Structure 1
């Protein structure tokens, strides 16, 4: 039975889909985001902007799907010009581009990026500055993960490649972005609850997210000397195609049930945290790791 709620403030227990999920129908490997069942909310209809990022230029790395798509839409509705990247999923990139094109007066452009390559990261940042004239906000959101049943199943190559994409890529982009972002700008990285409460079956991914949390604090110390803030968001379980594509079926079925809300977040629920950290309202916030975990409990 649903409880009564404050007007215009829905009960958070029932905002998103509740487990159990059907892993057979959720989303197949390589399928685009619009095939996810139940569908995810990226803010297409639910997010209302208030021009908090007016006249800013924002680059969202991995902005084509999941949390990245929600950030791209939210930033656009807050008045920012949007540059976003994708790696391989061109369909998702096209869908996000079309959604952004529907935002009146918002300029947007999509770029393909292999963030494990330092030169590609450096060239991308220069290209964005050439195309837009400047860069104010960098959001590092792209990552890869694989689940493993035992330590013996983790190949050395898998561990190295996960670090090259997630940790090295974040380092490259932060380092080179500081050559372009002017004072008053910011960088926001995506860490994870796995940074601090690692699951064994996500060992390589969790290790990279711990590295990102640590790098965020180190970069914040360097960047503030230039008047640039650096923070990270540490999401808990979020319903995106990455989940059914990379996790065991039993984990998919009960995904998000180990939170106080009893469900995973929708991507649109994470976007306001990224908006706040990019806005002038967060002028006294740097070197922080903002959790958004739904009160996840250890199991």
Structure 2
């Protein structure tokens, strides 16, 4: 291999950790890696070469199981969480979700493909309370501009939900299981999700139809989560403010059961008696505390 080489591995959450461990010697001072060349094993020495390796992945796999980079590899690498918004870049990150998805929607693409300055100007117009349209560089039909703004206002609503999903996905992945107060949230708010959602938006849609687009998309995404599907969909509806009273009650019940099971460390059926003793002890402590407060 020549100098100035970058090896990029994507979706490493689907790879076997033993395979990833093969890169440990490449990441430390040895700068070597074992491989096969023309059917024979060979050790590649990359010292002195301008070579880097970039790996990207998600903290959860498609089935919802937790993925962790092997410690010895993580300790030798620079680790970045691309879902985190740092400093004053939040507005740019939020805008990028719309930028990247614009090509998937014909109404947005009509203007974005001609002038991104006009695209940005109309995005600012749609997000503000301005009464007058901004001056645009290109010549557009009034219908094209009206369609663009109508679609964009729906896209802004979708974008806000996707951002919430992304933030909760990151928080859930970074939280230790012992500290959880609700089931892990494993749905993603990625550029891919945003593009799929934006592609379905047309100008004449109403708010209820946009809600249905969101729910249908994430219902499809949740099918690989098996036993976690219900809790994740209810959490999604909570983030999108779409929970009805029955679903709200069900979600509170799930969280209460989860907190109780998590507190008892996931007791098996044979440990029910021990769990009941723990509950009795908690109730007894509550009675003692109430007596103390009454005496005071």
TM-score of the pair, normalised by structure 1: 0.31
Larger helix percent? 2
Query: Which entry has the higher C-alpha Rg, 1 or 2?
Result: 2
Name which structure has the greater RCO, CA cutoff 8 Å, separation 6+. Answer: 1
TM-score of the pair, normalised by structure 2: 0.32
